[in-house]
Amino acid sequence: LEADIAKEVTFLVTVSGSPSSFSVDLEGGHAVGPIQMYYPLATVTQPGYVTVNSHWVRYLTANLTALTGGSSPSVSVTVAPGRNE
């Protein structure tokens, strides 16, 4: 996802299908010439809002690294610059 440059970003992580556990790595980065460089922002293991304030970033990504249990489980990540109020 390409966004305006932001330092503080809020992610909303939601789950369905009642997974017993999951893990999502949230990352942000920049393009340096033809190379995109990503930085770890947070690892999330519970649903809800996560606000990170660390690096100035233009690109955002969420990588599902683990998902177990449940009935047809899924994990969704929504992102918006700024803080959850």
pLDDT band at 85 (very low <50, low <70, confident <90, very high): low
* Residues 55 and 69 sit within 8 Å (Cβ to Cβ): no
In 3D space, the residue among 38, 46, 82, 36 whose CA is nearest the CA of residue 62 turns out to be: 38
Cβ pair 40, 52 in contact under 8 A = no
> Does residue 3 carry a pLDDT above 70?
no
| pLDDT for residue 2 is more than 70 | no
The string of DSSP codes covering 33-75 is TTEEEEEEEEEE-SSEEEEEEEEEEEEEEEEEEEEESSSS-EE
Q: What is the pLDDT of residue 79?
A: 84
Q: Which pLDDT score is estimated for 38? A: 84
What pLDDT was estimated at residue 59?
84
Model pLDDT for residues 27-75, shown as the tens digit of each residue: 988 876 677 788 899 999 999 999 988 778 888 889 999 999 999 999 9
